[in-house]
Amino acid sequence: MIELCLETDFNDITIEDILQRADVSRPAFYSHYSDKTALLDAALEHALEGLRAESSAAVERAGRLVSEPTEVLFKSAADNAPAMRVLLSGAGDGKPLRRAIASAAVDIEPALLRQAAEAGTEPRLPIDLIAAHWASSFFSVLEWWLDNNMEVEPATVANYFLNLTLRGRAWALGFDIAQHEISRSRDPGEE
């Protein structure tokens, strides 16, 4: 299914195309999947399970979300680049991508909370928002990296990602954040 999606728009793929490519009968296909969307979901979920397992193990080894676990995420995504390209293309009306972002946010939330606790800090914004930002940023940076044919090493793109998520856009644009007034807005929660 992944190969077909890379060759043809998902909406244009027919069950017959899938049957011919996989060399399976129609009854065999329908004994496993209700439709082509179910097959796409299963194929993408399989790729994402590997990504989750490798990143969870790396976070566990490091004890927090830092360079090594983030590099592992990008390495694992590179190993599954065809599936990641299909996911990021929005195949299946974008639902698999939205589920992947939501799932990644839920998965990362405990690590973010642990980091804050270890540093003795309290999150300034709702933790689910912080996690959602992290997850959507990861998939955005991954898409940029894949679109640029992974020209930089996983360690480099992990560093780009960490700098963007930890230091922010102002830092990336070269502003001296300590001396630059980012916003005149009030702190969150102020009226």
In terms of C-beta density within 10 A (0-12 exposed, 13-18 middle, 19 or more buried), how is residue 85 classed?
middle
Cβ–Cβ under 8 Å, residues 155 and 72? no
User: Residues 69-124: pLDDT tens digits?
Assistant: 888 889 999 999 999 999 999 999 999 999 999 998 998 898 889 889 988 999 99
Structure tokens at 139: 């998939």
* Matching residue, tokens 């992974």: 150
User: Residues 30-55: pLDDT tens digits?
Assistant: 999 999 999 999 999 998 888 888 87
* Matching residue, tokens 């793929």: 13
Cα 133–Cα 138–Cα 139 angle in degrees, nearest 5: 105
Cα 94–Cα 83–Cα 159 angle in degrees, nearest 5: 95
- Within 10 angstroms of residue 44's Cβ, the number of other Cβ atoms is 25
CATH superfamily of 2-169: Tetracycline Repressor, domain 2 (1.10.357.10)
Highest-pLDDT range among 44-53, 103-112, 135-144, 165-174: 135-144
* Matching residue, tokens 């940029």: 144
- Within 10 angstroms of residue 152's Cβ, the number of other Cβ atoms is 14
Domain boundaries, the chain: 2-169
Distance of CA 150 to the CA centre of its chain: 15
For the cut 50, the answer to whether the pLDDT of residue 184 exceeds it is no
